[in-house]
Structure formats: C-alpha cells, structure tokens
Amino acid sequence: MPSFEIRERDLLARIGRFETKSGVAETPLFLPVINPAKQIVPAKDMKRLFGCEALITNAYIIKKQFGDEAARKGVHRFLGFPGVVMTDSGAYQILMYGKVEATPEEIIQYQEEIDADVATILDIPTGWKVSKDYARRTVDETLKRARSLGDVRKREEIAWVGPIQGGIYLDLVMLSAREMGRLPFQVYALGSPTPVMEQYLFDLLLDMILTAKMNLPPDRPFHLFGAGHPFMFSLAVALGCDLFDSAAYSIYAREGRYMTEYGTFRIDALEYFPCSCPVCARSSLKEFLDMPREERMEDLAKHNLYVCFSEIRRIKQAIAEGRLWEYVEMRAHGHPSLFQVLKQLRKYQDYLEQHSPLSKRSGIFFFSSLGLSRPEVTRYRKKLFARYSPPRDAKMLLLLPRSRMEFYRRKRLYKRFFKEVYSMIGKDADRIHVCTYSSPFGVTPIELEDVYPLSQCEIAHPPDAETIRYLADQVREYINKTGYERIVVLSNTNTWEEEVVEACIQASSVKGVPCKAVKIERGLDKRLLTNLVATIKGMS
C-alpha cells in the first residue's frame, strides 16, 4: 500500500518519504510532464541526467493514441522510465476543449491497466473566469466521481489522487476539500491553478492552497497541478505542496526561453550563460545559437530541467537547515507578485505557527517587516502574552534596547554594569525587573534571553518603519498587560528607539504609571550609571 512518512519540517514544508509500488520518492518532489506523443527530453534519460525519481504523463492521451500497446507494455516500459509514474486523467483536455472521449470509469480502468503508480480520477476542472454556479457544478460532479472510485477500482496498491476544485471561490474550495478529505485518497491535489499562476496572481494562489490545506487531512501528500516556473517552487513548498508537476521546461524550450531560478529570458537576448549546468558549460552562447533548431531546443529543455531540479535540492537543504523562510524571502525579491504574497501571509500567521517546528538546528535571520509573519515571531508573541508573568516582587520595569552585537557580544559588560546599578540602589534592587526591546520580538524579559530563538538570531539594523510600529505596539501591549508601578526606559540616539520610548511613555500615561526616559549617550559609562541610579532612586 502507498505510504507517506514525514522526516523533516519547516514552515508547512515537509521532507517526506513517499512510498509507491514502484519505489520510494522523496518530497518535495518535482514531476516533469512527459508528453507521450512527443518527448523533447526522453523519459528514459530523466533518471540518468537529472536524478529524477518520478514523472507525470497523461493517461488520456496514451489511451487515445497508443491504447492497447501501452496497456500491454505497462506505462513504465512504454516510457522507458523505471521510477514512479503518476498519470493525469485528461482533465486538462476538458479544461481546454470542453470534453474528452472517455468516461470516468474508463479512465480509472485504463490507469490500472497501464500500471500507474499514482493515478487521478477524471475530475471536472473549475477553470478561470467562470460563474459561481458553474464552479459549484464542477465541485459537485468531481465529488460524485470521487465517491464512485471505490466501486470501479480493482487494485489497492495504486495511490489515487483526489482533486480539489472551486477555483477562485474559496468557500467552494473549502467545501471541496472538506468533502474530498473524508474520502480515502492517498494524495490530494489542487485543481485549476494554472490560469492563476500564468497571470502571476500568487496572492490568489496563496488563498487557494491554504484554504485547501486547512481543510484536508495533514498526513497525506498534497499536489499542485501545473506549478510552472522554478522561481515560485520555494513558495509552493513553504505553503505545504509536497508534489508538483510542470511542462514549462519543454514549452519554454520550444519558444526559445531560458529558465533561471529567478526569471526567464529569451535565449537570443542573452549576452552570457548565467549558469554552469552541463548544457551551458560545454559551449559558448554563440555556439549554442548556431546549433540546428531541434538540437538547440532539446538542449534548452535539458538546461531548464537542470534549473528545476537544482532549485528543488536547494529548497530541501533550506528545509533541513531550518532556513526555508529566509530562502523564500530571498526568492520573493525576484518578482513583485511573490513579494506581495509574503506580505499576505500575515493573515495565515497563526496557522503557520501551529504547524511549524518549535525549534531548529540553527538560528534565524531577520531582515525586514516581511519576517514579522514568520512562525517564531508569532509564537513568541502569543506565548509571552498568554503564559508569562513578571516576577511577583517586581515593581519597576527597566527597559533597555538590545541588538545582537550590543547585548550578546558585550554580555559581560552588561552584567558588570547592572551589578554596579544594583549595589548602588541597595535593598530595593530586587524590585527592579530588567527587560530588553528589539525587533522582531518586542519586549524580552531578561530571564528569557537565552530561550530559542531569542538569542539565536541575527537582526538587520535599523529596522524599517513597519517593524518599528510593530515593536512600539508590542511595548504598549506588554505595559498594558503587566502590573509595574514605575517604568524606566533607556534608548540610544537612534530615531527608531525614540519612537519606542514615546510608545512606552504613552502606554504608561494611559495606565497612570510614572515613566522616565534615560538617554544612552556614550555607552555603559559612569555618566549613564549615575543618571540611571538617580532616576531609579528618584522614582522609589
């Protein structure tokens, strides 16, 4: 029986072991689309050249053009590919031409006859720019066909795919996912995303993927049909897409388009090859352009595949290191539509946090306000305000700025400084509670400083305007939810710290708590020590 075992997680991404009757493939898994009628790169070369573990082909086209021959040989021998073979059912042809010349039952039976490892029911794709009534009919008919699978199928060892329809109507996507999730499919898939991706509507794709994911069993692989370009692979994986297919490598090659992990170029518009794959390394650009058209097209398709598979390996490494967020953020700067999606992730930040690992092998990098939606930030904020209380005897909050360089690399200096402060204050020193403030976590009580990921992060300073507003709001909320009787806040001569100080003073005023600000002029020197002690004693 097909099985799926998760080995590593980061965000919603999973490195998993997907076992089928023909072997095991590791997710995230890219499946090149093989046109059985015209293979620009032969399926038999996929494993040798690219380490390809799985591919996808169209069962309807095979049935229509090769019929009994493919059934007699089996799809693996027919294509010359020994790995995992997934078959689509002809739904794309329904989307393009309105119908296919086969019944849903015939397509199920034929996929069993050709011995597919992963097979898809003949669903009705919702498509793009359709009415909600039509979209509802596609959902209902697809569910009807999905429920009848058990009456038609005869082989238990094939993994069947349950497609989610509904298109841009998220309430229908939710309904489709919930109902499909009640059926015993081994793989679930989002149908009809291609038109959305072709128009770079990645914010809508985000909603479609996560609406489906949030209403499906989490222990099954999730497939994204027609994922397209490698520059969005990391986003798809981060959103929980375990499998995805694409024919773009061959379509682009026929059009003379050269893929990179950050965009696409017309091959005749390039000045240099920005790649060192075997195709690009063995000839100059001029020699490449002088090749016969068919040979050039095949080599361009191979290059495009090298880019796709290399990107998948980089994504897997990022998952293993716990740095997928940073990787997605880097890729998002490659196109404004991707950048916009990362901003839109904020509305799903609680779901991301719930399904992300509690700790990682390495610390995190925080660059800008995009990182405010990352699970580590969301989780800290929720736990701080839901579970943390200051020490019972703490009457005064001493709030000071922190950067990684300033606080951790000079931690001994800080300890000596506050030891002197406490000794000069005397018996009331234990009533002072020291906290720091910094992006992206806001207020951090001193006793939590070494808890992951608070001390395992590198932060870009100064923070941007949105991060400063977030930090100021965090300070206000912390003061509002705690019971300090006096507050002293320190700041350097940075403008952004002044905004946090102002937020602190405003929040204290609302609560009716006295608040004093102390400027750090030249570091932790005698002058600061004197001013700070005088301020604390003056408020006692």
- Report the pLDDT averaged over residues 118-134: 93
CATH of the domain at 387: 3.40.50.10630
Residue 188 lies in a domain: yes
What's this model's pTM, rounded to 2 decimal places?
0.92
- Report the pLDDT averaged over residues 229-253: 94
Mark whether 233 and 93 lie in a shared domain. yes
Using DSSP's 3-state secondary structure scheme, residue 444 falls into: strand
Domain of 372? 366-539
CATH of the domain at 162: 3.20.20.105
Last residue in a domain, options 192, 212, 246: 246
Copy the structure tokens of residue 327. 């990787």
Mark whether 240 and 385 lie in a shared domain. no
Residue 315 lies in a domain: no
DSSP 295-341: HHHHHHHHHHHHHHHHHHHHHHHHHHHT-HHHHHHHHHTT-HHHHHH
Mark whether 374 and 510 lie in a shared domain. yes
Mark whether 31 and 175 lie in a shared domain. yes
Q: What would the pLDDT profile of 148-180 be if each residue is shown by its tens digit?
A: 999 999 999 999 999 999 999 999 999 999 999
C-alpha–C-alpha distance, residues 178 and 173, integer Å? 9
Last residue in a domain, options 218, 246, 274: 246
Known catalytic membership, residue 151 = no
Residue 281 lies in a domain: no
Residue 222 lies in a domain: yes
Residue 327 lies in a domain: no
What's the start-to-end Cα distance of the chain, in Å?
72
Tokens 């989490």 belong to which residue? 218
DSSP 474-520: HHHHHHHHS--SEEEEEE-S-HHHHHHHHHHHHHHHHHT--EEEEE-
Burial of 64 (0-12, 13-18, 19+ CB in 10 A): middle
Mark whether 30 and 175 lie in a shared domain. yes
Task: Choose between 359 and 472: higher pLDDT.
Answer: 472
Residue 63 lies in a domain: yes
Grade residue 410 by pLDDT with cuts at 50, 70 and 90.
low
Mark whether 241 and 375 lie in a shared domain. no
**Statement: residue 52 has pLDDT above 80:** yes
C-alpha–C-alpha distance, residues 71 and 65, integer Å? 12
Residue 54 lies in a domain: yes
pLDDT at 456: 84
Domain count across the chain: 2
> Which of 88, 115, 123, 207 does the annotation list as catalytic?
88
C-alpha–C-alpha distance, residues 166 and 208, integer Å? 9
Least confident of 109-113, 411-415, 524-528: 411-415
pLDDT at 404: 46
Last residue in a domain, options 246, 262, 291: 246
Beta bridge partners of residue 86, listed in sequence order:
56, 118
Residue 528 lies in a domain: yes
Grade residue 423 by pLDDT with cuts at 50, 70 and 90.
confident
Backbone angles phi, psi at 225, to 5 degrees: -70, 135
Mark whether 228 and 377 lie in a shared domain. no
pLDDT at 523: 73
